[in-house]
């Protein structure tokens, strides 16, 4: 497969979407990011890497980090996790309070804000050094000690986190948060603030693409079955309330973030990460979604 030619062709075809949408201005630091950037990196299981433009530029991965925190939590508590968090697509916005109240404080899945706040709470209860151990895990996955938190972004999110504060208070009301609310929020925003490039993200997602290889990174161990189940949650829940559209158009498990990044995998073939800060009204990168749709169309490769 000539991925170099395919990526160049995709870049030409998505050019008309360059000015569509806007970056996530409700997070003040993200509003400062130059929205006219694009990067993509595809990495095969054999170690071949194909990239374009700003693939080496670091950006705030935001909710893509929820794949890493889910993996860490699942490795620690196993299926006990699903007593506190569901596995179903939300069908509503990622920060919905209405759904959380209707379902008595059990978040629909670990990728919506409520679900990942519970995951963060579990990690805080089980880890001696949650922030240190989480970033060590992500660095091990990415093969880069340069991956780090951005405290300025985390602080920026906390300043405007009125809805997340309401969500975690409701979770606490229903008995689904064990730790101090402010401590959990701080850890949650720190995880979202992690900065990575497309190349680092593509590398970090290779272990999820290759469920036949041992998963053992930074002290986090997962079985092949657990990796496949994480992929299943990515497939059904990884794109907020646009997960069905992504499955229909792209056909790969993946996760998006409001920083404009998307990471996806083709099991046993490749991982791919794309970044463009301008988002649609669902919070997903417009050029990123289109690029991945064209990737699976042109290669005629998806999981279906």
Instruction: Please work out, in degrees rounded to the nearest 5, the angle formed at the alpha carbon of residue 41 by the alpha carbons of 40 and 44.
Output: 150
Q: Provide the β-strand partners of residue 216.
A: 221
- Encode burial over 54-65: b for 16+ CB neighbours within 10 A, e otherwise: bbebbbbbbbbb
The closest alpha carbon to 20, from 300, 274, 285, belongs to: 285
Is 281 within the bounds of a domain? yes
> How many other CB atoms are found less than 10 A from the CB of residue 78?
11
| Dist CA 161 CA 157 (whole Å) | 6
**Of 158, 192, 226, which closes a domain?**
192
Is there a single domain that holds both residue 181 and residue 271? no
Residue 91 has what pLDDT?
A: 75
Residue 160 has what pLDDT?
A: 83
Each residue's pLDDT tens digit in the chain (304 positions)? 899 999 999 999 999 999 999 998 888 899 999 999 999 999 999 999 999 999 999 999 999 999 999 999 999 999 999 999 999 998 777 777 888 998 999 999 999 999 999 999 999 999 999 999 999 999 999 999 999 999 999 999 998 889 999 999 999 999 999 999 999 999 999 999 999 999 999 999 999 999 999 999 999 999 999 999 999 999 999 998 899 999 999 999 999 999 999 999 999 999 999 999 999 998 999 999 999 999 999 999 888 8
Give me the DSSP letters along 39-65: EEEEEETTS-EEEEETTT--EE-GGGH
Model confidence pLDDT, tens digit, residues 229-284: 999 999 999 998 899 999 999 999 999 999 999 999 999 999 999 999 999 998 99
**Of 192, 218, 244, which closes a domain?**
192
Is 173 within the bounds of a domain? yes
Provide the number of structural domains found in the chain: 2
Model confidence pLDDT, tens digit, residues 123-133: 999 999 999 99
Is there a single domain that holds both residue 54 and residue 200? yes
> Which residue range(s) make up the domain with 268?
3-62+194-299
**Of 192, 221, 243, which closes a domain?**
192
Is there a single domain that holds both residue 108 and residue 142? yes
Is 126 within the bounds of a domain? yes
Is there a single domain that holds both residue 209 and residue 294? yes
Residue 114 has what pLDDT?
A: 96
CA distances from 170 to 227, 240, 269 (A): 30, 20, 41
Is beta strand 39-44 parallel, antiparallel or unpaired with respect to 270-275? antiparallel
Residue 240 has what pLDDT?
A: 82
Output the domain CATH number for residue 160. 3.40.710.10
Is there a single domain that holds both residue 212 and residue 185? no
Residue 83 has what pLDDT?
A: 97
Is there a single domain that holds both residue 40 and residue 143? no
Query: H-type helices in 50-174, by residue range?
Result: 65-77, 97-102, 113-126, 130-142, 151-159, 162-173
Residue 161 has what pLDDT?
A: 87
């Amino acid at each position: 497969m000539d991925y170099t030619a395919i990526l160049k062709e995709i870049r030409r075809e998505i050019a008309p979407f360059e000015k569509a949408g806007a970056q996530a201005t409700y997070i003040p630091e993200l509003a400062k990011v130059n929205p006219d950037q694009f990067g993509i990196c595809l990495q095969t299981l054999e170690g071949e890497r194909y990239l374009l433009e700003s693939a080496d530029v670091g950006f705030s991965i935001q909710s893509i980090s929820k794949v890493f925190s889910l993996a860490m939590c699942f490795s620690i508590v196993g299926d006990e996790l699903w007593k506190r968090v569901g596995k179903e697509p939300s069908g509503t916005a990622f920060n919905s309070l209405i759904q959380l109240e209707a379902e008595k404080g059990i978040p629909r899945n670990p990728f919506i804000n409520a679900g990942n706040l519970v995951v963060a709470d579990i990690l805080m209860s089980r880890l001696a050094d949650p922030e240190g151990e989480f970033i060590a895990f992500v660095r091990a996955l990415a093969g880069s000690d340069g991956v780090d938190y951005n405290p300025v972004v985390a602080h920026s999110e906390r300043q405007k986190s009125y809805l997340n504060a309401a969500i975690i208070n409701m979770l606490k009301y229903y008995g689904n948060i064990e730790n101090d609310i402010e401590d959990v929020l701080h850890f949650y925003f720190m995880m979202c603030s992690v900065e990575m490039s497309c190349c680092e993200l593509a590398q970090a997602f290779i272990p999820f693409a290759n469920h036949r290889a041992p998963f053992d990174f930074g002290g986090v161990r997962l079985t092949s079955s657990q990796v496949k189940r994480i992929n299943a949650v990515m497939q059904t829940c990884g794109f907020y309330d646009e997960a069905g559209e992504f499955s229909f158009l792209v056909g790969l498990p993946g996760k998006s973030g409001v920083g404009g990044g998307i990471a996806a995998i083709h099991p046993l073939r490749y991982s791919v990460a794309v970044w463009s800060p301008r988002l649609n009204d669902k919070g997903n990168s417009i050029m990123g979604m289109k690029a991945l749709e064209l990737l699976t169309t042109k290669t005629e490769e998806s999981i279906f």
